[in-house]
Structure 1
Amino acid sequence: MNSFLAFGPILLMWSCHFKVSGSNVTEDILDDYGATVDYDKYISPCDKDGNRNFRSWFLPSIYSLICCLAILGNFLVILTYLYFQRLKTMTDMFLLNLAMADLLFALSLPFWAASVITKWNLGLVPCKAMFAIYKISFFSGMFLLTCISVDRYFSITKAVSAHRCRSSAAYYGRIASVATWAIAVVFSLPEIIYSNVSANQTCEPYSKEHENLRFSMQISQMVLGFVLPALVMIFCYSCIIKTLEQARNFEKNKALKVIFAVVVVFVVTQLPYNVVMGLSTQNTTVCDYDNSLLYAMDVSRSVAFLRCCVNPFLYAFIGVKFRNDLLKLMKDLGCLSQRYVIYSYGKRKSSAGFETETTTSFSP
């Protein structure tokens, strides 16, 4: 009996070795206790080659398009405001800072494209700067959009009290803008501290040792960068719509269209990305689901990045006063003829000569 106990494990190991190395190899292999092992239950490496190939051509293409449009649009906004010294209201100050934030982010997009195409060979400082610029421009942009909606709320629903504070509006706008940038820099500190170049030469915001911090930052970004601005915008624009509904001139229809466009663009560009980002905070071992989530993250993030080239057209170019200033600027730069500018300005003035301070404050 004792000899069997001594040689039993040796015989068992020999039989397993013979079964595996024989000519008829089966998928059922005995474990150390003689039970059949089903290897389908074990986690195998998830193949992500399809996602890598997709993002290698999709992300650089969409980033290049966004970069060109954002640089052109936001540069024209900044140039127009500075050329005509058009910083007389809080909305003007917020729009200028919003264009600066979007332009700053657009200038970082070539680095995002480079990080997708090839390995990161630019060093640690550009890696940290890329993620920090994104977070600073993201939070500052969202907070400035919130400030714009609040300013328009007071300008339209509280027109009398807002007119009394008109002389100091630009001053308070500067203070609010500086505070917005300062808060955005504070929220970007984790990216500045923890961004690093990994061993396989990729620029990553968080390493595997800081997964919990990454999840916490994603949740805070969703709350502070989407949920809070969305709630403020819904409240402000709902009150604005009620006020405009009481107006009797047909100019309110144009203002309502602007409000609808603002809300739709904000929801369409930001909601999918925040939903996917929320799903990515959950740990999963299903390969197909993980790959689908990666595709959704790449597409939704690209759509969210579109905001930096849509904001100039939505918040600045749609305003009558700003369009007139832009036409004058194009004429001074030699891009448009004097006859075209006079014709366009006179046509808009004849069709919108009844505009009040309320409508122009909503459409700067």
Structure 2
Amino acid sequence: MASVTSDYDYSTAIDFTIEEGLCNLDPNPMEVITQTYIHSIICAFGLIGNALVILTYVFYKRTKTMTDVYLYNVAVADLIFVVALPFIIYNEQHSWLMGSVACKILRSAYSINLYSGMLLLACISGDRYIAIVQARKSFGARARSLTYSRLICSAVWVFAVALTLPTLLYTERFEEKSLEAQTTNVMCQMSFSKTETAKLMKVVVPSLQIAIGFLLPLLVMVFCYSSIVCTLLRAQSTQRQKAVRVILAVVVVFIMCHLPYNVTLLSHTLSLFKERSCEAEKIKLQVLAVSRSIAYFHCCLNPILYAFIGVRFRSHFKQIILDLWCFSKKYIYTARSSRAPSDICITGRMSSDGSNNMTSFSA
């Protein structure tokens, strides 16, 4: 999630002049099939990873620190992203079968969670900066309280909603005639009644996504993590090399996932009102689609980079797997036999206060 993409489908409604006349920018069937498989994989892994993070915080770990609150909200944002994505993709490929209300809700929820997810990643880097670089200053502990973290998360979600207002207001369900076939497609896209509004929104929406959804989090992450690396290198710690490698992995993965798409989106936005050939436009849209899928993949990596890499979180994750196995084993015994064994499985779930509570699942 979370990753930022454009809410506007440039392949179907762009104000530009094609040198050869009418130009069909619809993707070919092979591209549609390939993107469907890729997005299915992203949705599956993103759903599993982020659901496990949320499950861990709700039933096992609890949110005890500021970072925990941020990680939980990032997982929620990514989860809503991967849940909304299949509905949007399916309706775009098979004509929009859902109503106008679903059109607005899905597009808006999609955008809200993309913005909130990216900004929350910047908050995580800021929290780690305060915890490590500013650890000796008096305001550090106060700035990292749970109350502050919840207020910051609330502000992030409200800000994300405000940034999504153009999508909510201008996204409509409408019919469009195909250029080649004599058919009518039902679309769910941003639609404008005035040319001036269309030109403004076609620049404002992607510009906001690039500036706030990519550049701002990137600058915050680079500054915070650079300061953290310098602090760790000065410290005499046996764990500093591992910590530095993790930080570098977080920044490199973020850049590799989002830089190609945002560069392509910026190039496409700058050329919106220029004359260009049909073939060049098709190639640019193909590059945009590929880079967008790479950006989507970041929501699958967030649980690994920010949660599962921690020792304590991994222990909770292993406990979830063990408990699920125990429940499944109990279900099998109950289904196959009227008399289940007295002691099917014993697990050691960590309680919210950190004590080891032995829990027995028996018939």
Give the TM-score range, shorter chain: 0.7 to 0.9
Query: Given that residues 261 and 295 in structure 2 are in contact (C-alpha distance below 8 angstroms), is that contact kept between their aligned partners in structure 1?
Result: yes
Q: Secondary structure at the match of 1:203?
A: strand
**1:106 aligns to 2:82 (yes or no):** yes
For 1:168 and 1:110, the matched residues in 2 are separated by 37
Query: Given that residues 144 and 177 in structure 1 are in contact (C-alpha distance below 8 angstroms), is that contact kept between their aligned partners in structure 2?
Result: yes
What amino acid maps onto 1:241 in structure 2?
V
Query: Given that residues 154 and 162 in structure 1 are in contact (C-alpha distance below 8 angstroms), is that contact kept between their aligned partners in structure 2?
Result: no
For 1:146 and 1:313, the matched residues in 2 are separated by 17
Structure number with higher relative contact order (C-alpha < 8 Å, ≥ 6 residues apart): 2
- Structure 1 equivalent of residue 157 of structure 2: 181
**1:142 aligns to 2:130 (yes or no):** no
Identity %: 39
**1:287 aligns to 2:278 (yes or no):** yes
What amino acid maps onto 1:231 in structure 2?
L
- Structure (1 or 2) with the larger CA radius of gyration: 1
1:250–1:168 Cα change, 3 Å = closer
For 2:25 and 2:298, the matched residues in 1 are separated by 29
Q: Secondary structure at the match of 2:96?
A: coil
> What is the CA distance between 1:205 and its match in structure 2?
2.6
> What is the CA distance between 1:261 and its match in structure 2?
0.7
Query: Given that residues 64 and 146 in structure 2 are in contact (C-alpha distance below 8 angstroms), is that contact kept between their aligned partners in structure 1?
Result: yes
Structure-2-length-normalised TM-score: 0.77
Correspondence 1:1-12 to 2 at 5 A: none
Correspondence 1:233-248 to 2 at 5 A: 233-248=221-236
Q: Secondary structure at the match of 1:171?
A: helix
> What is the CA distance between 1:97 and its match in structure 2?
0.3
For 2:159 and 2:40, the matched residues in 1 are separated by 29
> What is the CA distance between 1:173 and its match in structure 2?
0.7
- Structure 2 equivalent of residue 21 of structure 1: none
Query: Given that residues 131 and 140 in structure 2 are in contact (C-alpha distance below 8 angstroms), is that contact kept between their aligned partners in structure 1?
Result: no
- Structure 1 equivalent of residue 304 of structure 2: 313
What amino acid maps onto 1:239 in structure 2?
S
What amino acid maps onto 1:267 in structure 2?
I
Q: Secondary structure at the match of 2:62?
A: coil
1:245–1:167 Cα change, 3 Å = closer
**1:202 aligns to 2:190 (yes or no):** no
- Structure 2 equivalent of residue 329 of structure 1: 320
For 1:278 and 1:168, the matched residues in 2 are separated by 36
For 1:140 and 1:48, the matched residues in 2 are separated by 31
CA offset digits 1:296-331 (Å, max 9, x no partner):
111111111112111111100001111112122322
Structure 1 residue corresponding to 2:56, chosen from 52, 55, 80: 80
**1:151 aligns to 2:127 (yes or no):** yes
For 2:107 and 2:200, the matched residues in 1 are separated by 18
Q: Secondary structure at the match of 1:260?
A: helix
CA offset digits 1:224-260 (Å, max 9, x no partner):
1111111111110110010010122221111011111
1:55–1:206 Cα change, 3 Å = farther
For 1:74 and 1:295, the matched residues in 2 are separated by 29
For 1:67 and 1:228, the matched residues in 2 are separated by 26
Query: Given that residues 174 and 187 in structure 2 are in contact (C-alpha distance below 8 angstroms), is that contact kept between their aligned partners in structure 1?
Result: yes
> What is the CA distance between 1:288 and its match in structure 2?
1.5
**1:299 aligns to 2:275 (yes or no):** no
- Structure 1 equivalent of residue 214 of structure 2: 226
Q: Secondary structure at the match of 1:161?
A: coil
Q: Secondary structure at the match of 1:160?
A: coil
CA offset digits 1:192-230 (Å, max 9, x no partner):
110012222111134484232121111111011111111
Runs (5+) with no aligned partner, structure 2: 1-17, 177-185, 330-343, 351-363
For 1:100 and 1:322, the matched residues in 2 are separated by 17
What amino acid maps onto 1:296 in structure 2?
V
CA offset digits 1:27-70 (Å, max 9, x no partner):
xxxxxxxxxxxxxx963222435x24244212221221111111
Query: Given that residues 55 and 116 in structure 1 are in contact (C-alpha distance below 8 angstroms), is that contact kept between their aligned partners in structure 2?
Result: no
Structure 2 residue corresponding to 1:46, chosen from 23, 26, 29: 23
> What is the CA distance between 1:116 and its match in structure 2?
3.4
CA offset digits 1:170-205 (Å, max 9, x no partner):
111111111111110111111111001222211113
Q: Secondary structure at the match of 1:198?
A: strand
For 2:98 and 2:129, the matched residues in 1 are separated by 45
CA offset digits 1:328-348 (Å, max 9, x no partner):
232233369999x99xx9xxx
For 1:217 and 1:102, the matched residues in 2 are separated by 21
- Structure 2 equivalent of residue 269 of structure 1: 257
How many residue pairs align between the two structures?
302
Query: Given that residues 56 and 116 in structure 1 are in contact (C-alpha distance below 8 angstroms), is that contact kept between their aligned partners in structure 2?
Result: no
What amino acid maps onto 1:302 in structure 2?
S
For 2:143 and 2:249, the matched residues in 1 are separated by 30
1:47–1:305 Cα change, 3 Å = same
Task: Identify, as 1 or 2, the structure richer in helix.
Answer: 1
What amino acid maps onto 2:302 in structure 1?
N
CA offset digits 1:71-121 (Å, max 9, x no partner):
100110001011125211110000000000000011011112212321112
Task: Identify, as 1 or 2, the structure richer in strand.
Answer: 2
